[in-house]
Chain A
Amino acid sequence: MSSVWAIFKREFAAYFATPLAYVFIVIFLFTMGAFTFYIGRFYETNMASLEIFFSYQPWLYLFFIPAIAMRLWAEERRTGTMELLLTLPVPLWATVVGKFLAAWAFTGVALALTFPIWITVNYLGHPDNGVIVASYLGSLLMAGAYLAIGACISATTKNQVIAFVVSVVVCFLFTISGAPLVIDFFQAWAPFALVSAISSFSFLTHFLAITQGVIDLRDLIFFFSLITLFLAANIVLVDLKRVG
């Protein structure tokens, strides 16, 4: 456990050692605001809820999260520190988990900094704060799932751009797998069980359920098992590279 903590601390500090963290946070907050107030017309809807704010999050995460995850392994590979990291006496799972948790914590910081909008909505009206808390937690969970995908893909390459682009595409597929775009394609020929299995992988469906204030255990299990699955794949991929 102490090695997870050591890896976590280094990785988390690495975000703030360069302008990356600050640039990311500023642009993230700005974009969140722009979408909520201008495109989502937050004021015009006259509703004391953050539904609009949260409804854009999956789409923004689609680009922001792969940008956080892309460097996790690709950079280590490019600079050669991978060799150092993997020859230190740390179990591989601890390295993978430590890195993931650091990126997740960083995302958490960025998400937490959107708090002014929560204050705003409470100032303007009487929102259901329980729903908002649930939505924030759901958002964090979904971010974790995107991150696990991004980290896993980052482990396959030393090129951060490739890691970013591939992660965006994979995350996109997971986001919309419940949408007609995907479902119609399968519905014509695939058995019903397959279609419903595919649509059940949709981040949107699970996330929307949470933002309605309904915390269903199945939605939580979905995100947690997806994170676990991709972290396991991450471990396997890093280990496979040792074979050369």
Chain B
Amino acid sequence: MLEIAGLTKRFGPITAVAGLDLTVRKGEVLGFLGPNGAGKSTTMKMAAGFLAPDAGSARICGHDVEADTLAAQRNLGYLPEGAPAYPDMTPRQFLRFVAEVRGLSGDSATAAISSAVGNTELDPVLDQPIDTLSKGFKRRVGVAQAILHNPPVLIMDEPTDGLDPNQKHAVRELIRAMSRDKAIVISTHLLEEVEAVCTRAVIIDRGRIVADGTPAELLARSRHHNAVTLQLAAADAERAAAALTTLPSVASVEHGPKNGTASVTAFSKDRAVLIDDVIGLASREGWDVKEVYAEPGRLDEVFRSLTTHDATRARESRA
């Protein structure tokens, strides 16, 4: 539904997006991750037809965004960075305008607006100038505008930025509910969001894809994947750490005090399942274990290991 091939964009000496290839199919919710300045927004702007690429192409439902812009844009719902909307308009006027521009009129426009308003819970502020709305409502006005025409492809740049936990949950539920018959791309800095709604995560750095997989696949790259942490009496900690090190399946062990008890984490060799071995050892040794859990992995760790720091990047691009 969304096909991006060799997409490239340069701003002066800086290459913001460097030959990006990406295909998103119906039913997928793709989480687009990357540090600030990695090229996420630039990629989305090109896919939406706002920026012209220097090379490569984006196609939406088979329509080339550059050659057949209007057809591509008709099939796209797009939430730009920062969720811009006309500040003097009320959400009702704004959505009417978008509906009209999108060729919806009369009953179909009214139906589309009321469904988008219902999905984003905008009813209480429909007649208040957008200017006066809270950040959360403004963001949802942007989301409502993007889903108004029930587009087969949806690209949203940070749809949950500025929302409180309840609102985030609601927007994620909405994305999940829509995902069955749409191809959805969202960019986010919230790694838990990727685990919560995305069926696929792509990490980009310096305009290139550095990781592409399901959230579980990315988690499997983490050092913490299948690591086991024990909470046990402080007295047992040293002994337990030493004993765990001797297990053949353990790569390394870290421990530290925590609220009167101690926590010991054993990292798995080859990230294989470790918990059975650890529990076996603990019961044989008779440690006073308060808590034990295996970790799925940490996405932030994977993210950090794959991407570069912005200051480093800025230095390099100047050199």
Contact = CB atoms under 8 A, between A and B. Distances in A.
- Chains A and B form a bound pair: yes
Interface of A: 2-3, 6-7, 9-10, 13-14, 17-18, 79-81, 83-84, 86-91, 242-244
B101 interface: yes
Interface string B32-76: 000000000000010011111000000000000000011101101
Which of A6, A7, A79, A87 is the most central at the interface, judged by chain B CB atoms within 10 Å of its CB?
A: A87
B81 interface: yes
Interface of B: 9-11, 45, 48-52, 69-71, 73-74, 76, 78, 80-82, 84-89, 93, 97-98, 100-103, 145
5 contacts: A14-B89, A88-B101, A89-B73, A244-B9, A244-B51
A14 B70 contact: no
Given A10-B86, A83-B84, A242 B51 contact: yes
A6 B50 contact: no
Contacts of B76: 87
Contacts of B82: 80
Contacts of B88: 14, 17-18
Nearest to B84: A80
Given A6-B97, A244-B52, A88 B102 contact: yes
Contact of A88 (B71, B73, B81): B73
Contact of B84 (A13, A18, A79): A79
A89 B80 contact: no
A84 B84 contact: yes
Contacts of B10: 244
A242 B85 CA distance: 20
A80 B98 contact: no
A132 to B, nearest CB: 36
A87 B85 contact: no
B272 to A, nearest CB: 47
A79 B75 CA distance: 25
Contacts of B9: 244
A80 B80 contact: yes
Contact of A87 (B73, B86, B89): B73
A90 B85 CA distance: 17
B103 A87 contact: no
Given A6-B97, A89-B70, A83 B50 contact: yes
A92 B54 CA distance: 20
Given A9-B100, A10-B89, A14-B86, 9 more contacts: A6-B100, A14-B89, A80-B81, A80-B84, A81-B84, A81-B85, A89-B70, A89-B73, A244-B52
Contact of A242 (B50, B70, B74, B102): B50
B101 A7 contact: yes
A14 B90 CA distance: 11
B299 to A, nearest CB: 29
Contacts of B50: 83, 86-87, 242
Contacts of A83: 45, 48, 50, 80-81, 84
Contacts of A244: 9-11, 51-52
A232 to B, nearest CB: 19
A14 B130 CA distance: 13
Nearest to A242: B52
Given A10-B97, A17-B89, A87 B48 contact: yes
Contacts of B87: 79
Contacts of A79: 84, 86-87
Contact of B70 (A10, A17, A91, A243): A91
A133 to B, nearest CB: 35
Given A87-B48, A87-B73, A244-B9, A81 B101 contact: no
A18 B88 CA distance: 7
A89 B102 contact: yes
Contacts of B52: 242-244
Given A17-B88, A81-B85, A87 B80 contact: yes
